[in-house]
């Protein structure tokens, strides 16, 4: 599973905001490309989770390319789900649901 870190060093799934009129899947594909330079081949909706501040649409994405992190990303990590990584509470909730 691909995780990216913010400038604070906490890991999260690639993603971001949905532009006006944009569908959640299109936003996920766009954000993945903006943050990692990966191009989605296939995207599948998994679930929606509402935190206290946001609605999180979660997708499984198969992608092509090599990861090249964008300016808002600190680093990337291919996470094997064995070792804990520093993350935010809402990210831990989504990651737990994915496991």
* pLDDT score at 87: 93
The two three-digit tokens of residue 37, written as one number: 């330079």
Report how far residue 92's alpha carbon sits from residue 26's, in angstroms, rounded to the nearest whole number.
Answer: 24
pLDDT value of position 25:
97
Q: Which helix (H) or strand (E) holds 24?
A: helix 24-36
Look at residue 51 in the predicted model and tell me its pLDDT: 86
pLDDT at 20: 97
Q: What is the pLDDT of residue 39?
A: 97
Q: Which stretches in the chain have pLDDT values below 50?
A: none
| Start-to-end Cα distance in the chain | 10
What pLDDT was estimated at residue 56?
A: 94
**Phi, psi dihedrals of residue 56, rounded to the nearest 5°:** -110, 115
Within 10 angstroms of residue 53's Cβ, the number of other Cβ atoms is: 7
């Amino acid at each position: 599973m691909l995780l990216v870190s913010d400038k604070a060093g906490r890991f999260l799934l690639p993603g971001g905001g949905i532009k006006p009129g944009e569908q959640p899947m299109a936003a996920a594909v766009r954000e993945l490309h903006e943050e990692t330079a990966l191009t989605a081949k296939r995207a599948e909706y998994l679930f929606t989770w509402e935190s206290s501040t946001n609605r999180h649409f979660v997708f499984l994405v198969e992608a092509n390319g090599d990861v090249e992190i964008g300016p808002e990303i600190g680093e990337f990590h291919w996470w094997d789900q064995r070792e804990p990584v520093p993350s935010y509470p809402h990210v831990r909730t989504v990651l737990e649901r994915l496991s």
